[in-house]
Amino acid sequence: MKTSPIIALDFPSAQEAYTFLQPFDGGLNVKVGMQLYYQEGPAIVAKLKEQGYDVFLDLKLHDIPNTVKSAMEVLAGHGADLVNVHAAGGKTMMEAALEGLDKGTPAGQLRPSIIAVTQLTSTDEQQMQREQLVETSLENSVLHYAQLTQSAQLDGVVCSVHEASAITDRCGKAFFKVTPGIRLAESGTQDQKRIATPAEARHAGSTHIVVGRAVTAAKDPLAAYEMICAQWEGLK
């Protein structure tokens, strides 16, 4: 995946996603999530790849190891550049995911990178402690999941910007820190709790940022995207 911002195509149909993409130059990093994938199926990934986009297929698999392994074997054939699971599924599940991906990657093609969601960026510490009965801090929980993910040989994690630098200290610079919950200073938080700006993400050592509504719901999406790129690249 290129290091440019990953735009979350959280749209109900391919038609709406393509209408949104029209003003942009090709070659963007895009994310296909559950809504678009469940509506359009594997064809949406193939079509975006054909058109030169790098694709993060964000389906957050979380099931017993054998089921995740078989699902990843299928997903490996879709041509996405990056896929993911929930670290809460456990080390054996993550290893199975990787095994499935390796097995399903067509000969001569690169295996998609695979990362694990630590704690969702819509979760805050109080909620985690109350609802998951996790007694440690949110940062500790995320760090624990990051190390578990690394021990399963995955390529990195999804985390918030607030944990990115601590993860780099423990897991190294090359370990992916893909950070959603990105907002420009003036945009609202919506359902996200652990948010940050693109500049904060760069300073914290995120390797990739995921941007949804700050671009897709902007009055001028192209201008919002350019502003985010400038902040992410340290030009503003």
List contacts with ligand C5P (CB under 6 A): 8, 10, 33, 58, 117, 120-121, 158, 180-182, 190, 192, 210-214
Taking the C-alpha atoms of residue 147 and residue 129, their distance in angstroms, rounded to an integer, is: 20
Comparing CB distances to ligand C5P, the nearer of 54 and 105 is 54
At closest approach, how far in Å is the CB of 103 from ligand C5P?
A: 25
Count of CB atoms within 10 A of residue 204's CB?
A: 20
Taking the C-alpha atoms of residue 32 and residue 157, their distance in angstroms, rounded to an integer, is: 17
At closest approach, how far in Å is the CB of 20 from ligand C5P?
A: 13
Tokens of 214: 């700050």
Tokens of 18: 């393509």
Residue nearest ligand C5P by beta-carbon distance:
212
Comparing CB distances to ligand C5P, the nearer of 45 and 105 is 45
Q: Burial, 34: exposed, middle or buried (Cβ in 10 Å; 0-12, 13-18, 19+)?
A: exposed
The residue from 47, 49, 60, 193 that is catalytic is: 60
Taking the C-alpha atoms of residue 36 and residue 43, their distance in angstroms, rounded to an integer, is: 11
Q: Is 173 a catalytic residue?
A: no
At closest approach, how far in Å is the CB of 131 from ligand C5P?
A: 16
- Per DSSP (E only), the strands in the chain are 6-8, 29-32, 54-61, 82-86, 113-117, 156-158, 176-179, 208-211
Taking the C-alpha atoms of residue 163 and residue 159, their distance in angstroms, rounded to an integer, is: 7
Comparing CB distances to ligand C5P, the nearer of 23 and 188 is 188
Comparing CB distances to ligand C5P, the nearer of 105 and 162 is 162
At closest approach, how far in Å is the CB of 217 from ligand C5P?
A: 8
Residues classed as catalytic: 60
